[in-house]
Chain A
């Protein structure tokens, strides 16, 4: 009988021993938070087919061999394809695609935390301090960069050193700097939204025109202004906005929110953070304060002296507009040539199941970037309560 107890005790001790497994969690001390976009976007034609292609590998602190070809790197952001028009407020982690629209994208890396209420899960943690950053082109294939033969490891587009401060949020672009020569460079912006007192009952948006130098002047020779009306922008533009609701697939402005002035945008690749402008999360007083209802935001860009009221017969570059959200037939017309769906129902506002409400609308902080002839939107969401089913 005694023996049986001894065996049971021995088994329990064994169980305890086995349960003592120590898990080593990946950890980066004093991290900086980094999100990277490949903002190069030129069409491949017969005439430029030998130009470096816009499919990149980012190498942080690379080790080069004697010929200058990378052999390894501390951090590798491979398969960096052209960026998507909408950079989502949550990571791409659910998809299994190898090609990335951004870094970290769907890579399994240490993501940023909730910082001052902002969800930084689309940012990767990288060690702070000085880093050499290399961007090289790579072939369109599924072979990881360091498994490629050395002669296929592309050419260097960007080779620079940056200093990242700990616990700072950075957005990095590979940008075309000069249109005619296709000179590329690195643009790194130290984001300030985590430090600004932004209210959660307003939706914030700031604007950048990161177009390359000479794009506006040069393209008048090669791109037909009449074929793409209102898809160009002069260097300095005033921004107006409207908030609207779709009715019969056409946007109808909400009373009091039509063609309101918002701010200005100037073409510059200076890395200063542009001021955030805001509009209310619940502009329509007739709806409950839980869900805004399907809606869209339209931003109008007018040359100084023009407003959306007097935009008839403008010259190329003097007017453009983008609709975001549930815009129906409104986007894609000459009046509003651009459209980004962003959040399917509510555009810059995130509407999702949270708590007992499904859906519930949340304010966000957004960055709208115009690069050459495309708009790109980056949405940052706040932390919200998980759904209760």
Chain B
């Protein structure tokens, strides 16, 4: 009996071993984590980028972003498009396809750049697919720890933190930006002449002899008050054309071009340089004892950009007080998204909603 059990036991073990040796010819499912999608495919499949996708489809660029790259795309998400008044595909359809294509190509640079691969300084210049340059500035402070968490601004537009930056894909990287970039072909002068809200400013620049410099100077930063700002001081296109330039001190209207100093300053540069302590007279643009201090902060809770331009007058060596000849702060005209950082080929225009200096206080 025991002998039989032994044989049975051995037979069962052999049987089990035989069954255990069966090899199913299984094909493992494709591991999608090792085959990342392209930038184009990622945008197609992301609800937050649906407006960008529509724009890329309309301009025929979506296929380019599926090719081998590598590219770095500064991608405005739907929220960013909404800030400039583009809420649906219908709004995009109203736009000129060529200019839309140009500005979308301006959002792409060649090669793969993660946040840590940008040098930790202001104004790293990169050539975009349009051939124009964009400016990447790394801030002093971090929005989250580590080099990948530093504040980053592209032409004054913030790269969103955490999972919205450094999105690594098969043919490049996506960084989601706070608002779409803008770029105007032509000089600062061309920008001002095209903008119908700056007609009075253009007349005054011509009268006071700054106009040619706005075309020929290599680098210039302009704070241009809107027509409404001049109207508040009873200056209209008509009266501006008749203004007696000899009566005014140079600062009265020269302050808006910072007396043609060779500057290239975005609205976020002060914040990038000095972090939260950005509001310091030492960190301002100074001309003739008058300082212009663009401040910026992103409010992560309200999801808004808190901006202002602080104006100060120098009364002692390091003694600065609030502007005595006009408002202490001014804002960007129509808000930061529309007023600040209008980039042109030879400089930047910031459109502001108030005059810096009451001209009648600046008579000789």
Chain A residues close to B by CB (< 8 Å): 43-47, 49-50, 53, 139-141, 143, 151-152, 222-227
A222 to B284, CA, bound (A): 13
Chain B residues with Cβ under 8 A from A152's Cβ?
119, 124
A46 to B285, CA, bound (A): 6
User: Which of A46, A49, A152, A222 is the most central at the interface, judged by chain B CB atoms within 10 Å of its CB?
Assistant: A46
User: Are A47 and B120 interface neighbours, CB within 8 A?
Assistant: no
The residue in chain A whose Cβ has the minimal distance to the Cβ of B120 is A140
Q: Which of B265, B285, B293, B318 contacts A224 (CB 8 A)?
A: B318
User: Are A225 and B317 interface neighbours, CB within 8 A?
Assistant: yes
A222 to B287, CA, bound (A): 12
Chain B residues with Cβ under 8 A from A49's Cβ?
122-123, 264-265, 269, 273
User: Are B316 and A50 interface neighbours, CB within 8 A?
Assistant: no
Chain B residues with Cβ under 8 A from A226's Cβ?
317
User: Are B263 and A50 interface neighbours, CB within 8 A?
Assistant: yes
Q: How many cross-chain pairs have Cβ atoms below 8 Å apart between A and B?
A: 60
Chain A residues with Cβ under 8 A from B119's Cβ?
139-141, 143, 152
The residue in chain A whose Cβ has the minimal distance to the Cβ of B221 is A46
Given contacts A45-B283, A224-B317, contact A50 B219 (CB under 8 A): yes
A44 to B273, CA, bound (A): 8
Main secondary structure of the interface of B (DSSP, over half): loop
Q: How many residues of B contact A (CB 8 A)?
A: 30
The residue in chain A whose Cβ has the minimal distance to the Cβ of B111 is A149
User: Are A47 and B261 interface neighbours, CB within 8 A?
Assistant: yes
Chain B residues close to A by CB (< 8 Å): 117-125, 127, 219, 261-265, 269-270, 273, 282-286, 293-294, 316-319
A153 to B261, CA, bound (A): 26
User: Are B283 and A46 interface neighbours, CB within 8 A?
Assistant: yes
The residue in chain A whose Cβ has the minimal distance to the Cβ of B287 is A47
Chain A residues with Cβ under 8 A from B123's Cβ?
49-50
CB A11 to nearest CB in B, in angstroms, measures 49
A12 to B286, CA, bound (A): 81
The residue in chain A whose Cβ has the minimal distance to the Cβ of B122 is A49
- The list of the 9 closest CB pairs from A to B, nearest first, reads A139-B119, A224-B317, A224-B318, A141-B119, A140-B120, A140-B121, A140-B119, A227-B318, A49-B122
Q: Which of B121, B262, B270, B318 contacts A46 (CB 8 A)?
A: B270
Chain A residues with Cβ under 8 A from B117's Cβ?
141
Could you pull out 29 A-B pairs where Cβ atoms are within 8 angstroms?
A43-B282, A44-B122, A45-B273, A45-B282, A45-B283, A45-B284, A46-B269, A46-B273, A46-B284, A46-B285, A46-B294, A47-B263, A47-B284, A47-B285, A47-B286, A49-B122, A49-B123, A49-B264, A50-B123, A50-B219, A139-B119, A139-B121, A140-B119, A140-B120, A152-B119, A224-B316, A224-B317, A225-B317, A227-B318
The residue in chain A whose Cβ has the minimal distance to the Cβ of B269 is A46
Chain B residues with Cβ under 8 A from A43's Cβ?
282
A143 to B119, CA, bound (A): 9
Chain A residues with Cβ under 8 A from B219's Cβ?
50
